[in-house]
Amino acid sequence: MVELIVQLTKSDPEYVATLTAELEFTAKARALDVIYTRFSQIYGLSDQSPNPQFHSLARRIQKLATRRNDLVHSFYHLLITINGEVALERKPTKLKPSEGLREQAVEDILPSRLETDISEMKKILLELESYRLSAINALYPE
């Protein structure tokens, strides 16, 4: 995402990295969504605000970031399914102080579920790269 911001803003990579270093991942995605909309308007790629295709990608990025946070901030136990497949039981702990509760929902994560998350990550990376290349083409037409 930072590389795409560098291309869209025609900026020094160190400046962009410095400015975005302290932003949370979802904040970077929201900022990139706005930056791409402005870029696409300036270069005649779209006159819509936000750019519908890129906005959809930005929402997918934010959804994946939420999933990542859920995975990282959880407790795990090893599971063996009745078919002998190794899996994980995920228990995220969320405190609800106003109710005096500690909530622990459980999710069983089979390898296929992780493969789905990784596949979505790869798709997003490829789409971000295609937007980066189209930005270069818009900035430097042949």
User: Do residues 135 and 39 lie in contact, with contact meaning Cβ atoms separated by under 8 Å?
Assistant: yes
The pLDDT value given to residue 61: 94
Give the burial string for 34-56 (b: 16+ CB within 10 Å, else e).
ebbbebbeeeebbeeebbeebbe
Task: Tell me how far the alpha carbon of residue 28 is from its chain's centroid.
Answer: 9
**Which pair of tokens denotes residue 16?**
């962009």
The pLDDT value given to residue 106: 84
Cis peptide before 97 (omega within 30 of 0): no
Pairing of strands 107-109, 74-80: unpaired
* Tens place of pLDDT per residue across the chain (142 aa): 999 999 999 999 999 999 899 888 889 999 999 999 999 999 988 888 888 899 999 999 999 998 888 888 888 999 998 889 899 998 877 777 777 777 777 888 888 888 999 999 999 999 999 999 999 999 998 8
Q: Where are the domains of the chain?
A: 2-72+128-139
**Which pair of tokens denotes residue 128?**
């971000």
